[in-house]
Structure 1
């Protein structure tokens, strides 16, 4: 008996010690709605949850202590901090030494001993058991109402990772959500939430079903980086002779279409720069992560803290202040975009074998449009027949977009009339008797169409006809559309690299391409197939026995491309066409490129090389180029250079001399440097200099200092001179630019991080007859500061940036959706039954939310000067003075949190407006757009469970540039919130606010108003248990329109109840009685705002919701 007591006592002692040592847990994790905190059971009452430093009320969630799960009453979608304690056991698990179901019963007889029992599969078995990590959610829902049909919705989001068999792993991301948008392109790494796949793999095999990437295979001519949706298989194995085989096979639907776009930078314009499709589609969606952006041949990095950001959905590119964009910036962008004209299949196979001294590869690629599977482009039989007859002349594939559909409510329709002797003239009409034509208008350029933009309505744009003058069209739109032809690409390449001996190796490759730009037609197919070949020899000589010493490398390359050879993507260097002066010339013919390169290489010092090249395109271009490049480091000197001389003949004789060099000297803590860039590019015909000729010289001095591991400082001064040919065919100085700037960084410190940049540029036009460019003064600046005191009582984060760019005039339309699934509601203020643009309001109740607002791209931009300022300040004195006495103890009861966010764009370049983020008033004509939010919260006794207070000052302002004018909103308020838990089960809250609200637009008069308001509210809540809560409240307030005569006095009584069933669901209900004593026109925008979507007089509002967890 004593031994049993001893064992039991030891058991509880060990358990107690274990709990005391390791039961406290702190976890920070992203939460959607439900989370499993731990594998052990929670100590009841020990859980505390913080969101953004604020303690969450226990009423916001339900807990299962035994299962260690927390379910929130609504979706959180944020990172939370959990503090809790656990028992050393999981009480929800079953513990047993033997399976009692296996106990033999004598009553069942001996036959029971010989029965075969099969263990049924469980969900855990299907998904791989304990070796597989699972994360995700499954939801099912039902929608119903008195003005809509019964609807069922569901969602599946599941992530799996782990072992499913010995030496076989699974990685999966599965969802049934259809996501038509791309992620934000403002970070270096993307959240590719549309990547859905199942991957099974081990050391030799990898099989992916779903979304995947395929990258450039081994070889020279075949280049791609594609996104596909289907199957891809990778396999690697050792060969019989000790080599390694690697192969990849893919069959999929291609998700993108490739394009390469060249953009000439504009002075004092960081963007946005609009990307267009390969067939000049003006509005496209870029596939996330497929872009490669270059400036002057240098590859850039994506990210707000790097070189550029990109909006994939609007295909707009904006450069950060790290790269000042000027008239001389050469921008090249390679990307893929979503093209939904046809379903497009993708087949890919690449195999290569490598052993000592031998590398062989073979690649096959095919991408083809299914011409009979149209997606977003509808083709009639007559249109298909039309495309069949135009062959490769796809510029002729333009057809009428006028379709007779009859009258359809809530659509933009046109009537057809005769006017001024012209028949078939289209006019916008609302008459059901004549409005029978649905028309798509396409922009074709000035004086190339017969229609012009008329007005912007809620359903979209309308256009009107203008009569030709002297037979010359006066419009820029036509009722037509360009048909996209189905295409087919096939590519095959095969090559080998063989090491002949210690010093010599050869490489050869052959490629075959087929590109049919119109698979509807068999005409002009003779030029669809092209060939290419390459042969290269390399010799490497070591000047010493040590292989790390100097090497002398010689290479001889020759390549040939037939006239019809069509690469999948650009396989040469990004500025190859500019190096040879063939950019935009569209020379046709067989291409021959030969080069000899000799270089000296040193692992210690660098390398130097000299290259001789010859390039020919049929009989249209013939060029010879001498090129040298290198980088060398020695005794604190560092030099980098490239220089070339091109002599070519086409329709003109060309001489192109260019060099770029950078030289620096390390002087201990300081580095002095010089950079220059010079070009002389002359085109002449019959010894006469042509207008294409130019020259420039760009040089820069800089000094840098600091410890590269902690601090960096750089100051530079730069000048550039441009020459253009004058009327006498002589190069003359046309422009001068002066730039200067400073960069400073502090990194590697725990308490402070600083990154700053200031730049200035002045462009002077010396002769406006030679260079059509306005003079500009440009300033850019950027400050990124992060500061935190040692004890963490003060935290400061600041981001400040100035620059220049463009702002798009936004167009938008309202689209009707199912009731309750929209954001806006339509109020027919003028009673004409027509949905006008100024008759839509944000819905106050879910049953009224029947419309969504969709912004449509526009090509209309306005020059702006930009200022962005973001700062966050958090003062928590309790971290420093919590253990102090007197005044410090009293101050520790307070805390303050401030957030300032201002993003404004103005039309004036004066320094005060440019530098001061708070300068421009909302009604200023100089202010183009703004989106600002200022909020300061002063807390008292913030973490107390008994009493706390908060005083808030806030200002929110927005101003948007629309195609129809400006739309500005402003709300300014002061709030006081008090909370008092006067009894254990009772909580009281008092809230008071005072402020004003402004609406100002210039495209209509009935939306301009200024409201002064005040509100006071008191609420008492009774919570008898953790799953039941009652509440009653009273609110009183007044509103007055100081631009009009409208006034409002309101009183509101409400009661609510909330009931939670742990792990099952929750029921919420509320009833409000609201008395609106209103004077004014209730059927107006100001009336809708003041009445909060209710009616004058007495109103009863109720809502009841039930959420079920399944």
Structure 2
């Protein structure tokens, strides 16, 4: 099959449903659920490399059978958990038949001779894509679900991964999926797993063709700067007629996945976050595209990850800074990012062409990104509204329309009716009456005194608003029934440049750019400022001297450059330094006009010692601003001294004159094994008005620190420092000290200890405000700290891992609502407890049966936060004495039969700094009124004779706690239990498993009523299994349950007795049949139609109940698998509920 045919098949069947693929060609690891037998791999397994684990415990050869040739794994005794396989493979399948010639081709004289010349297909029918050099993995499935308590449902899935050669000079890398993943990777690691990335890539040394999701990166040039996520088609091609003359081009057409924004955030004292990101047009709630962010603190680029500088929640657009960066009132935060913009379909076209040779570099770039104004996505616009937008030009503050929409009555959304009251007409009132609730309304927050509505309450469908009467024709609310329209935009840019290296040491370079920015493509007005242009021309010369052994140690670099921007020039993204506007005192000033930036500079560099640079610059913005700046930067190492600095002095003239002096210095000296250093950061910014008097925006600060650190950081790295900062504000034409901040800290990292690693850092800062009138800031004491420790010993018989972090920040008040989805595709079910037809917040439960699961719960972010102190603690301990004492005798042999796994994880936030309780992760009671939120999990498993073939036992203690801060209260849950289970394999065919559990389930919800309960329960379960062979197993089990609600209001109680049987029959060629039947007798006292009743009854009814399920799975052919499933249940005085499904899956 030719390469083009393969490409055509892929595109024909899968279009642009495309994802990420990676494969380890060495050791392989798979996590699989094994009920009886499974084929681990399509290739033969190398025998000495095979290992199997349940959790972290290896399986012994007596517990399983493995055919290394066919990779067929058979478990002798089924396990509850998935099994982790670690192995290596041969590059072929030893179970297959291999031969040089097919014996069927030997000619038979009695056979028709014409068949000798018949051309057979080279590839088998099963190999859809053909070829032995193509690695493929995945499946496609189609299924249906049905029942008498749900609508017919259709589901499908496609997952395909390809890599390898498709021809002699073409390779393919592809991941194709039709899964609509609604979430993004968690932004708490340095490297992201882009599981939402879907693509097909065809490539070789010169060509790269990619269809699907891809990154569009900055091309050659100065003004054209972007890094975009797109979905479409992109082609790169490179060619050269001579070795030193290379042409390259890129052409892309795609849908843009996001819009760019640059947000400047001023840090808050003692607040590590979260800090909320907003859209370019102040959209309050956005979704940041994963991996697109750049985060800066004081001009320094940070690294993402919990072990580095910050973490980010892309779905809520919130950033939290780790303990490596103490955030204060002085911290300057800049975030550049892209976010999902669903207002219009947005297309993107890009082309770049470049040429490189020894003398000449040339480039040409074109970029166009535009909203499809006739394809709005999340905002519906009528013809009247479009006409209105066409008349406002670029005055986007006027893009506001009425949001009242007559839709008729629906029971799955909040609706309003119109009334007249107190002499006011057309007042919107929330209603559930089908006779009058006809209006769907979007309420927009506009600030206090600017609206006529206020937020009154919450229900399961969202917020409920209430009209409030104006006083003296002055509005008293903060919401209005309106909607700000995001206008469709178009942004285009073209740039071309030339670099001429006219000598070995000199070059001249020039680039021109043209931009077109239309803020409202609905309107033909205000077009005169859409187009802008720019130019940068630079000259640079490098002179080398001071040769030592034919190597030039010294170099002198001189440069001259001029940059011009017309007032209407709009770049795609920021291309200048992150603090360029702050360096020139233009941040937030709103200066307008053509920009001119001129620079003359020189740099002296030594290959071993460092470099020193000095620049003289001029910058102007029309007639609004003009400034001159001297700038120096350097680093130098000599005779044990190490110095780094940058300094600048600015004199500027605008509406007022300003002078800005700033410098940063870091100098240190080696003294034996230590390095002693000094750092400082100083700024003095003076603003003078027309009368030459200093204005109130003038300021000065001096920030310095002393530190001691070690020299050799390969084995151990430590640092101690003391830091002070003095803030000064203007008073009577002179600067007066207004605040003092003192910080002490320590950092430690030990890598030299065998099987151990320690990382520690801490910092304490005290802020003393001397003049509260000059500085609107309250005194604060803040502390941050982190400890990481890992330990392994005695052949991993002991494994210890600790993570502990403290700090202060904010906690968001969350809101949530329930959204109805297709039957069987949700998590929650609605039960109308008060039978009023209104979906109240206390009427949704986690569904116990798939046919009732038709709602999902969605958390909605809010703008309300509370100040908290946070504490995060993760602890794991694994004890495996058998690794060192399994061959001992006596007491040590007995102790080797025991093993233990302990896990403790807590993340809590409190609003009180009392008695050091915030530092104690064990002080975590959800009833504590100072506890704002928490997620805590504790689990300890003590095993006896865990791998024993005859007998084994386990004790488990587990506790889950959660407390969530909501806009209208708290939602708290506690689930705790003790469990003991024992297994006894009486014979190879008979086994017994007995389990007893005692626990409590506690729920407190003060945001609503009817959901508080505290259920103490205990149950005993035993099962007897008979397994005469690996093909058949049958189990008889019974259970006795006792539940009591300890809250004195109702005192509900429930007794459950059930008995049932499960079986499984498996034949390799005929398929697998499994089923279960259960009889339950439930005695219940209390209100059945309540939250506690639903929990106690396990979604069944008092009296006699029956449940049953059957499933059949069969491999129809080599690559096809058929699955049929049927479930049913019956309670007293109710009809039988039937639920079924069928799925056909094809494997590649």
2:695 to 685, 690, 698: 690
Structure 1 CA distance for aligned equivalents of residues 189 and 82 of structure 2: 19
Deviations 1:652-684 (A, max 9, x none): 111111111011111121110100001111112
CA shift for structure 1 position 1050: 2.2
Deviations along 1:1013-1049, one digit per CA (max 9) or x if unpaired, are 2111111011122132111111112122221222222
Native 8 Å contact 1:929 1:961 kept in 2: yes
Q: For residues 267 and 91 of structure 2, what CA distance do their matches in structure 1 show? A: 65
1:28–1:79 contact (8 Å) kept in structure 2: no
Give the Cα separation in 1 of the matches to 2:873 and 2:529: 57
1:220 aligned residue: 222
Specify whether residues 525 and 428 from structure 1 end up closer, same or farther in structure 2 by C-alpha distance, changes over 3 A only.
Answer: same
State the shift of 1:288 in Å.
0.8
Equivalent position to 2:1043, from 1027, 1039, 1042: 1039
Does structure 2 conserve the Cα–Cα contact (< 8 Å) formed by 1:64 and 1:1063? no
Write the distance in 2 (CA, Å) between the matches of 1:62 and 1:524.
78
- 3-state SS, counterpart of residue 378 of structure 1: coil
Separation in 2 of the partners of 1:89 and 1:960?
A: 54
Q: Alpha-carbon deviation of 1:1092?
A: 1.7
The Cα offsets for residues 11-34 of structure 1, whole Å up to 9 and x where unpaired, read as xxxxxxxxxxxxxx9953355897
Q: CA deviation at 1:524?
A: 1.1
Contact kept, 8 Å, 2:871 with 2:918, in 1: the verdict is yes
Distance 1:323 1:88 in 2: 49
Q: 2:562 aligns with which of 533, 558, 563?
A: 558
1:186·1:310 contact (CA, 8 Å) conserved in 2? yes
* Residue 473 (structure 1) shift: 1.5
1:665 counterpart (657, 664, 669):
669
| Partners of 1:58 and 1:521 in 2: CA distance | 76
> Is residue 735 from structure 1 mapped to residue 739 from structure 2 by the alignment?
yes
Residue of structure 2 equivalent to 1:718: 723
CA positional deviation for 1:504: 2.3
1:305 aligns with 2:307: yes
Higher RCO, 1 or 2 (CA under 8 Å, sep at least 6)?
2
Instruction: Determine helix, strand or coil for the equivalent of 2:1088.
Output: coil
Relative to structure 1, is the Cα distance of residues 187 and 288 closer, same or farther in structure 2, using a 3 angstrom cutoff? Answer: same
What value does the CA root-mean-square deviation take over the aligned residues? 2.5
What residue number does 1:1068 align with? 1074
| Structure 2 counterpart of 1:1102 | 1108
8 Å CA contact 2:369–2:490 kept in 1: the answer is yes
Q: Give 1:56 shift.
A: 7.6
* Mapped partners of 2:144, 2:49: distance in 1: 37
Offset at residue 733 of structure 1 (A): 1.2
State whether structure 2 residue 706 is matched by structure 1 residue 704: no
| Deviation, structure 1 residue 628 | 1.0
Sort the Cα spacing of 1:548 and 1:1020 in 2 relative to 1 into closer, same or farther, 3 A.
farther
Q: Per-residue deviation at 1:46?
A: 13
Mark the CA change 1:817 to 1:708 in structure 2 (over 3 Å): closer, same or farther. same
Does residue 990 (structure 1) correspond to residue 994 (structure 2)? The answer is: yes
Distance 1:61 1:409 in 2: 56
Once the two structures are superposed, residues 626-668 of structure 1 have per-residue CA deviations (whole angstroms, 9 ceiling, x without a partner) of 1111111111100011111111111111111111101111112
User: Offset of 1:1096 from its aligned partner?
Assistant: 2.0
- Do 1:442 and 1:481's aligned partners in 2 also have CA atoms closer than 8 Å? yes
Alpha-carbon contact 1:1015-1:1037 (below 8 Å) kept: yes
2:328 corresponds to: 326
- Provide Cα deviations, 1:495-515, integer angstroms capped at 9, x if missing partner: 111122233221111111111
- Per-residue deviation at 1:753? 1.0
> Are the equivalent residues in 2 in contact too, given 1:903–1:931 (CA < 8 A)?
yes
Shift of 1:148: 3.0
Question: Paired residue for 2:109?
Answer: 106
**Aligned-residue offset at 1:49:** 3.4
Tell me which residue corresponds to 2:29: 28
Contact 1:182 1:288 in 2 (8 A): yes
1:824 and 1:385 mapped to 2: Cα distance?
44
- Which residues of 2 match residues 5-404 of structure 1 at below 5 A? 28-31=29-32, 36-37=40-41, 39-40=43-44, 49-54=52-57, 67-69=70-72, 80-82=84-86, 90=93, 92-113=95-116, 115-119=117-121, 121-122=123-124, 126-239=128-241, 242-404=244-406
In 1, Cα distance between the equivalents of 2:582 and 2:976? Answer: 55
Aligned mates of 1:358, 1:109 — CA distance in 2: 70
State the match for 1:14 in structure 2: none
Determine the C-alpha separation between the residues in 2 that align with 1:250 and 1:897. 53
Determine the C-alpha separation between the residues in 1 that align with 2:156 and 2:824.
Answer: 17
Normalised by the length of structure 2, the TM-score is: 0.91
SS at structure 2 position matched to 1:155 = strand
Question: What CA distance in whole angstroms lies between the structure 2 residues aligned with 1:133 and 1:74?
Answer: 32
Distance 1:737 1:594 in 2: 39
The structure 1 residue matched to 2:576, chosen from 572, 576, 589, is 572
Secondary structure, aligned partner of 2:488: coil
CA distance in 1 between counterparts of 2:59 and 2:414 reads 50
In the alignment, what sits opposite 1:819? 823
| In 2, Cα distance between equivalents of 1:494 and 1:1077 | 82
Secondary structure (helix, strand or coil) at the match of 1:544 reads strand
1:759-798 aligned at under 5 Å gives the runs 759-798=763-802
- Cα deviation 1:460-514 (Å, max 9, x = unaligned): 1110111122222111111111111111111111111112223322111111111
- Is this contact kept in 1: 2:1019–2:1042, CA < 8 A? yes
Q: TM-score, normalised by structure 1?
A: 0.94
Stretch moving more, 975-984 or 502-511: 502-511
Conserved? CA contact 2:52–2:83, under 8 Å: no
1:799 CA displacement: 0.4
Contact 2:149 2:851 in 1 (8 A): no
Q: Match for 1:678 among 676, 682, 686?
A: 682
Q: Secondary structure at the match of 1:288?
A: coil
8 A Cα contact 1:825 1:841, kept in partner: yes
Give the drift of 1:54: 4.0
Shift of 1:62: 11
The range that moved more, 257-266 or 1063-1072, is 1063-1072
Q: Distance in 2 between matches of 1:1107 and 1:448?
A: 64
SS in 1 for 2:269: coil
The answer for unaligned runs of 5 or more in structure 1 is 1-24
- Kept in 2, the 8 Å contact 1:37–1:70? The answer is no
Q: Could you say which residue in structure 1 is the equivalent of 2:1127?
A: none
| Offset of residue 83 of structure 1 | 7.0
Change (3 A) 1:108 1:241: closer
The alpha-carbon distance between structure 1 residues 1064 and 213, as it changes in their structure 2 partners (threshold 3 A), is farther
Aligned to 2:1140: none
Asked if 2 retains the 8 angstrom alpha-carbon contact of 1:59 and 1:1026, the reply is no
Contact 2:216 2:228 in 1 (8 A): yes
Write the distance in 2 (CA, Å) between the matches of 1:275 and 1:925.
30
1:705-745 deviation line (CA, Å, top 9, x unaligned): 2631011111110011111223x343221111110111100
Alignment of 1:354-753 (within 5 A): 354-545=356-547, 546-685=550-689, 686-705=691-710, 707-726=712-731, 728-747=732-751, 749-753=753-757
8 Å CA contact 2:209, 2:235 repeated in 1:
yes
CA deviation vs aligned residue, 1:1054-1108 (integer Å, no higher than 9, x gap): 1111233437753332222222222222222222222222222222222233345
Once the two structures are superposed, the pairs formed by residues 948-987 of structure 1 within 5 Å of their partners are 948-987=952-991
Quote the Cα distance in structure 1 between the aligned partners of 2:61 and 2:721.
58
> Residues 448 and 586 of structure 1: is their aligned pair in 2 closer, same or farther, counting only changes over 3 Å?
same
Greater shift, 481-490 or 633-642, is seen at 481-490
Question: Aligned pair in 2 of structure 1 residues 794, 634: CA closer, same or farther (>3 Å)?
Answer: same
Tell me if structure 2 keeps the 8 A contact 1:341–1:374. yes
Partner residue, 2:1087: 1081
Structure 1 residue 81 displacement after superposition: 2.8
Residues matched between the structures, number = 1082
C-alpha distance in structure 2 between counterparts of 1:242 and 1:978, whole Å:
75
> CA 1:410 to 1:242, structure 2 compared with 1: closer, same or farther past 3 Å?
closer
Residues 503 and 962 from structure 1, CA distance in 2 versus in 1: closer, same or farther, beyond 3 angstroms?
same
Distance 2:710 2:1043 in 1: 60
Does the 8 Å CA contact 1:1076/1:1096 hold for their aligned counterparts? Answer: yes
In 1, distance between residues paired with 2:920 and 2:602?
A: 56
Alignment deviations for residues 422-479 of structure 1 (CA, whole Å, 9 cap, x no partner): 1111010011111010011111122111111111100111101111222221111111
